Amino acid sequence: MILYIFRRILHMIPILFGVTLLIFTLYTYFGEDPARIALGAHATPAKLDALRKTWGLDQPFLVQYGRFLKEIVTMDFGRSFVNNQKLSDMFKEGALVSLAVTAPPFILGTLLNIAVAMLVVWYRGSFFENFMSVIFTGAMSISYLVYVMFFQYFFAYKLDLFPISGYFPGWLALSYLALPWVIQMVVMLGPDVRLYRTIFLEEVKSDYVRTARAKGLTEGRVMFKHVLKNAMIPVITYTVIEVPFLIIGAFVVERFFGIPGIGDLLVSSVTSGDFPVIKGLTVSIAIAYALFNLLTDVLYAAADPRVKLS
């Protein structure tokens, strides 16, 4: 296992190197000039040149890229062009808020959706399965934005059950996070249950399930001991790959509810042209995605001994 992980890490290095080079090239040659964004369209050439020199944007490409690689290795991406705040502090604060927004509904929603999918498969071929399939398909057809606007208007504004927007640290944050949690769990319900239902139905048709039934095992034991266990690989794949995106939060939810998470920070940085923030977040997401891909492969072996680490 240790050798396998080491080998996978070696494979990740050129991939991440290529990703960083692509990101830096795109933002350097195809993005807006950060100095012009900061000073405005009517800034004089002298002021633009002075600011570019201050930020190191006048250096050759390889020098700037080398400095960017050093920032990645040290995880110190410098300071924001907009407010001069240290990026590591901004990322830490935003990531904690985004995890508070997305992690609880993700964990609870995943467990709930697996349970609902198992229930639907239990009653496969019945009116209940057909009815639930129609409901979930309809739920998937509704835009995320519609859910946010409806829940915010009806439950927060009309019924006054939740705050409309805002965020405060500490236990008081729960009142502001409750409605975003509900929205995210509702949005997850349709696509997740349909996916898990398809996975479980494939397992139900397998030979080992027929053998288990022929041995006299109850339907509950077959479903929960055999079907659920053997369906864990695609479930793990789908679930673990989603984890890195919890850090960037739910863009729409954070923007609509005024929650200062990573998603809100990224949108604000794109709007203001804050180049260091955009670079740092993009690379951090890429690294997190690669690491959780590695974690997925390792979990395969734990979930299914038939998987060979080669």
In a 10 Å sphere around its CB, with 0-12 CB exposed, 13-18 middle and 19+ buried, how is residue 105 labelled?
buried
Looking at every residue in the chain, the average pLDDT score rounds to 83
The structure tokens 């195809």 sit at 30
Q: Where are the alpha helices (DSSP H) in the chain?
A: 2-25, 34-39, 45-55, 61-74, 87-122, 127-140, 144-151, 173-204, 207-214, 219-221, 228-230, 232-242, 244-247, 251-256, 262-272, 275-303
Return the half-sphere exposure (C-beta side, CA atoms, 13 A cut-off) of residue 128. 9
Tell me the pLDDT band of 108, cut-offs 50, 70 and 90: very high
% of the chain with per-residue pLDDT over 70 = 95
d(CA 52, CA 44): 12
Amino acid sitting at position 181:
W
d(CA 241, CA 5): 17
CB-based contact 230:211 (threshold 8 Å): no
d(CA 153, CA 36): 39
The structure tokens 């999918």 sit at 117
What is the average per-residue pLDDT within 171-197? 89
d(CA 268, CA 14): 31
d(CA 114, CA 196): 6
In the predicted structure, residue 310 carries a pLDDT above the cut 60: no
Q: How confident is the model over 73-107, as pLDDT tens digits?
A: 888 877 887 777 888 888 888 888 888 888 899 99
Domains belonging to the chain, first-starting first, are 2-74 (no CATH), 95-303 (1.10.3720.10)
d(CA 34, CA 55): 9
- CA distance between the termini of the chain: 10
What does R_g of the chain's alpha carbons equal in angstroms?
Answer: 24
In the predicted structure, residue 165 carries a pLDDT above the cut 90: no
Nearest to 97 by CA among 207, 260, 238: 260
Query: What is this structure's pTM?
Result: 0.79
d(CA 46, CA 49): 5
Q: How confident is the model over 256-270, as pLDDT tens digits?
A: 888 888 888 888 887
What is the average per-residue pLDDT within 216-226? 81
Q: In angstroms, what CA-CA distances link 83 with 22, 38, 280?
A: 26, 11, 16
d(CA 220, CA 230): 15
CB-based contact 232:304 (threshold 8 Å): yes
d(CA 80, CA 82): 5
d(CA 299, CA 310): 14
Return the half-sphere exposure (C-beta side, CA atoms, 13 A cut-off) of residue 293. 12
Q: How confident is the model over 133-157, as pLDDT tens digits?
A: 888 888 888 888 889 999 999 999 8
Nearest to 306 by CA among 237, 213, 233: 233
